[in-house]
Protein backbone atom coordinates (compact mmCIF):
# COMPACT_ATOMS: atom_id res chain seq x y z
CA UNK A 1 0.00 0.00 0.00
CA UNK A 2 2.88 2.34 0.82
CA UNK A 3 4.41 1.83 -2.63
CA UNK A 4 1.10 2.62 -4.31
CA UNK A 5 0.78 5.87 -2.35
CA UNK A 6 4.33 6.83 -3.29
CA UNK A 7 3.63 6.14 -6.98
CA UNK A 8 0.41 8.18 -6.90
CA UNK A 9 2.18 11.10 -5.21
CA UNK A 10 5.08 10.92 -7.69
CA UNK A 11 2.64 10.85 -10.61
CA UNK A 12 0.77 13.85 -9.20
CA UNK A 13 3.99 15.83 -8.81
CA UNK A 14 5.23 14.87 -12.28
CA UNK A 15 1.91 15.79 -13.90
CA UNK A 16 1.79 19.11 -12.02
CA UNK A 17 5.36 19.97 -13.00
CA UNK A 18 4.61 19.20 -16.65
CA UNK A 19 1.87 21.83 -16.52
CA UNK A 20 4.19 24.41 -14.90
CA UNK A 21 7.47 23.81 -16.75
CA UNK A 22 7.46 24.63 -20.45
CA UNK A 23 10.15 22.12 -21.39
CA UNK A 24 8.53 19.04 -19.82
CA UNK A 25 5.53 17.42 -21.50
CA UNK A 26 3.32 14.63 -20.14
CA UNK A 27 0.24 13.75 -22.19
CA UNK A 28 -2.09 12.42 -19.48
CA UNK A 29 -2.27 11.36 -15.86
CA UNK A 30 -1.97 7.71 -16.94
CA UNK A 31 1.30 8.60 -18.64
CA UNK A 32 2.37 10.32 -15.41
CA UNK A 33 1.68 7.07 -13.51
CA UNK A 34 3.83 5.18 -16.01
CA UNK A 35 6.57 7.83 -15.68
CA UNK A 36 6.49 7.46 -11.89
CA UNK A 37 6.79 3.67 -12.15
CA UNK A 38 9.61 3.80 -14.70
CA UNK A 39 11.48 6.40 -12.63
CA UNK A 40 11.17 4.15 -9.59
CA UNK A 41 12.65 1.22 -11.50
CA UNK A 42 15.43 3.32 -13.05
CA UNK A 43 16.31 4.81 -9.66
CA UNK A 44 16.46 1.33 -8.15
CA UNK A 45 18.47 -0.36 -10.92
CA UNK A 46 20.35 2.09 -13.14
CA UNK A 47 21.12 4.91 -10.72
CA UNK A 48 23.28 2.85 -8.31
CA UNK A 49 25.33 1.56 -11.24
CA UNK A 50 25.83 5.10 -12.55
CA UNK A 51 26.83 6.32 -9.09
CA UNK A 52 29.47 3.61 -8.77
CA UNK A 53 30.83 4.26 -12.27
CA UNK A 54 31.07 8.01 -11.68
CA UNK A 55 32.28 7.89 -8.09
CA UNK A 56 35.57 9.77 -8.74
CA UNK A 57 33.75 12.64 -10.48
CA UNK A 58 31.13 12.71 -7.72
CA UNK A 59 33.84 12.95 -5.07
CA UNK A 60 35.72 15.69 -6.93
CA UNK A 61 32.53 17.75 -7.33
CA UNK A 62 31.56 17.13 -3.68
CA UNK A 63 28.40 15.29 -4.71
CA UNK A 64 27.09 17.86 -7.18
CA UNK A 65 27.49 15.36 -10.03
CA UNK A 66 24.53 13.48 -8.53
CA UNK A 67 22.31 16.22 -9.98
CA UNK A 68 23.67 15.34 -13.42
CA UNK A 69 22.93 11.66 -12.81
CA UNK A 70 19.35 12.53 -11.81
CA UNK A 71 18.90 14.57 -14.99
CA UNK A 72 20.27 11.69 -17.09
CA UNK A 73 17.78 9.33 -15.43
CA UNK A 74 14.96 11.73 -16.36
CA UNK A 75 16.20 11.88 -19.96
CA UNK A 76 16.41 8.08 -20.12
CA UNK A 77 12.86 7.85 -18.80
CA UNK A 78 11.73 10.29 -21.51
CA UNK A 79 13.26 7.99 -24.14
CA UNK A 80 11.51 4.93 -22.69
CA UNK A 81 8.00 6.29 -22.01
CA UNK A 82 5.88 7.43 -24.96
CA UNK A 83 3.92 10.56 -24.11
CA UNK A 84 6.69 11.92 -21.87
CA UNK A 85 9.13 14.38 -23.39
CA UNK A 86 11.83 16.66 -22.01
CA UNK A 87 13.22 19.40 -24.26
CA UNK A 88 16.81 19.22 -23.01
CA UNK A 89 19.30 18.57 -20.26
CA UNK A 90 18.59 21.79 -18.34
CA UNK A 91 14.85 21.11 -18.30
CA UNK A 92 15.58 17.58 -17.05
CA UNK A 93 17.83 19.00 -14.32
CA UNK A 94 15.19 21.51 -13.20
CA UNK A 95 12.47 18.85 -13.36
CA UNK A 96 14.52 16.39 -11.28
CA UNK A 97 15.22 18.98 -8.58
CA UNK A 98 11.60 20.17 -8.35
CA UNK A 99 10.31 16.58 -8.59
CA UNK A 100 12.45 15.53 -5.63
CA UNK A 101 11.39 18.53 -3.55
CA UNK A 102 7.70 18.19 -4.42
CA UNK A 103 7.58 14.45 -3.82
CA UNK A 104 9.35 14.82 -0.48
CA UNK A 105 7.01 17.54 0.71
CA UNK A 106 3.83 15.74 -0.33
CA UNK A 107 4.95 12.37 0.97
CA UNK A 108 6.09 13.76 4.32
CA UNK A 109 2.73 15.51 4.69
CA UNK A 110 0.96 12.23 3.93
CA UNK A 111 3.17 10.35 6.40
CA UNK A 112 2.42 12.70 9.29
CA UNK A 113 -1.30 12.55 8.53
CA UNK A 114 -1.26 8.75 8.84
CA UNK A 115 0.26 8.76 12.32
Question: Tens digit of pLDDT for each residue in 14-50?
Answer: 999 999 999 999 999 999 999 999 999 999 999 999 9
Q: Give the confidence band of 63 by pLDDT, cuts at 50, 70, 90.
A: very high
Q: At what angle do helices 2-20 and 89-113 cross, to 10 degrees?
A: 140
Domain of residue 6, residue span: 2-113
- So what's the pLDDT on residue 108? 83
CB 9 within 8 A of CB 106: yes
- So what's the pLDDT on residue 31? 94
Q: Considering its fold, how many domains does the chain have in total?
A: 1
Give strand pairing partners of 84. Answer: 26
- So what's the pLDDT on residue 113? 62
Amino acid sequence: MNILIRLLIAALVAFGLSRILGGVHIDSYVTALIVAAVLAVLNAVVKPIMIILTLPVTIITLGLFLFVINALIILLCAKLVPGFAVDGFWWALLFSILFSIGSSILYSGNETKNR
